[in-house]
Structure 1
Amino acid sequence: MIDLYYWPTGNGLKVGILLEELEQDYRLLPVNIRQGEQKTEAFRRLSANGRIPAIVDHGSALSDTPLSLFESGAILTYLADKAGRFLPPASTVERQRVQEWLFWQVGHVTPYLSQLQVFKEKAPEPIPFALDLLHGEATRLYGVLERRLSEVAFVAGEYSIADMAIFPWIQPLRQGQDLAQYPHIAAWRERIKARPAVQRAYAKGREVAANERSLSLQ
């Protein structure tokens, strides 16, 4: 049994998608970040960084006691390795392709696109320098993804945890991007949106917090 400590943001949805794809038995335990529940001492014992998501695996072969993990990239890698799906074996080129795109998402997509959303949606007044800088970086990142998807159906060739990590963060309306300019991203999004596991993950997210903006698939 996996306990998923979660809120339906881009980072939370990544792990929900993988668990649904794996048809893994798990419990969804909401951590309401809008009310500061991620700052509690109890949650920080699971997530040293005080951020969702985090998991507790009550049946890990790596430990005699329940294994807790935080950081979405680490969680995705662990769960995929444990199941032997959506992440190729170690010492293969295919695995390195998945890892490079997963790290691209963690290191570039989330930091810049999340900051853009904060400055657009939450700043008391517009800050043109920040908005211009972050919008420019969002456009660059969309360009990187568009070029890659012009070559392959999924970012690492086959559908993988890298796609699951990137997909919830591609929110063009929030990020000032027109998907008409990115036909390969648009087609990739439609392929992923059509997957039953993805639909289930988003439906469960809406049961937790229907108004979260990350749940929009527009």
Structure 2
Amino acid sequence: MYTVIGATKSRALRVMWLLEELGEAYDQDPAGPRSDTVLKHNVLGKIPALIDEGHSLTDSVAIMTYLADKHGKFTAPAGTPQRAHQDAMTLWLIDEVDATLWTNTRHKDALPDLEARMHEQYAQAMKVLSNRLQSEFLMGDEMTVPDILAAHCMGWAAGVGFPPLDEKLSGYLKKLRARPAFRAALDH
């Protein structure tokens, strides 16, 4: 059984959501960043961490990639062009969306002009994402790790007052957040 370390209202939700989608059992320790529990598993003090067979794994995207590869679901096979496209999408989401949200969260109080710029960057990224969404999911007809990452980021953005999504992305997010696995992860 897996153990997810981190509060539900954090990037740990990404990991929990994927575990629910995979149908894998897990326990959750809602320890906060830099707590003794977290520092035991991640010297950086960041959440989430995943404990699997005595190994402490860190970084939500690395954990999701590990789980998807391990279980052979929600990912294209490693070493394929499809996987390279999926990884490119994942890295783009980290660089252009997640990093924007994190920068805003971490520095908006210290740099008052930053928030407007982060909102602008996010809005630009959402226009690009909307154009890239050409199927039911980001990578085609099947849900993959980038969908969880994108949905989590869009929910985070909405929760902190970032610009609203266009109709296409709003529908996409609503559909993803209606999935039973997402609801189960929230309620875990």
TM (norm. structure 1) is: 0.77
The structure showing larger relative contact order (alpha-carbon pairs under 8 Å, at least 6 residues apart) is 1
2:34–2:44 CA contact under 8 A, matched in 1: no
Three-state SS of the structure 1 residue aligned to 2:29 is: strand
1:20–1:201 CA contact under 8 A, matched in 2: yes
Question: What letter is aligned with 1:54?
Answer: A
Counterpart for residue 50 of structure 1: 45
Match for 2:73 among 74, 82, 85? 85
Give the superposition deviation at 1:196: 0.5
1:116–1:175 CA contact under 8 A, matched in 2: no
Give the superposition deviation at 1:40: 3.7
Counterpart for residue 148 of structure 1: 132
1:131-169 deviations in Å (ceiling 9; x for gaps): 2211111111111211112x2221121210111112111
Give the superposition deviation at 1:49: 2.0
In structure 1, distance between residues paired with 2:144 and 2:152: 14
Counterpart for residue 118 of structure 2: 134
Give the superposition deviation at 1:93: 1.9
Counterpart for residue 9 of structure 1: 9
Question: What letter is aligned with 1:174?
Answer: V
1:177 aligns with 2:160: no
Three-state SS of the structure 1 residue aligned to 2:8 is: coil
Distance 1:55 1:173, change over 3 A: closer
1:187 aligns with 2:171: yes
Question: What letter is aligned with 2:16?
Answer: G
Listed as ranges, the matches of 1:25-174 within 5 Å are 25-31=25-31, 33=32, 38-58=33-53, 66-118=54-106, 123=109, 127=112, 129-149=113-133, 151-157=134-140, 158-170=142-154, 171-172=157-158, 174=160
1:110–1:169 CA contact under 8 A, matched in 2: yes
Give the superposition deviation at 1:82: 0.8
Greater Rg by CA: 1
RMSD value, Cα:
1.9
1:50-89 deviations in Å (ceiling 9; x for gaps): 110001102xxxxxxx121101111011111111100111
1:177-210 deviations in Å (ceiling 9; x for gaps): 123xx12101111220121101111122xxxxxx
Mark the runs of 5 or more structure 2 residues left unpaired by the alignment. Answer: none
Give the superposition deviation at 1:117: 4.1
Three-state SS of the structure 1 residue aligned to 2:41 is: coil
2:96–2:122 CA contact under 8 A, matched in 1: no
Three-state SS of the structure 2 residue aligned to 1:94 is: helix
2:38–2:47 CA contact under 8 A, matched in 1: no
Mark the runs of 5 or more structure 1 residues left unpaired by the alignment. Answer: 59-65, 205-218
Counterpart for residue 63 of structure 1: none
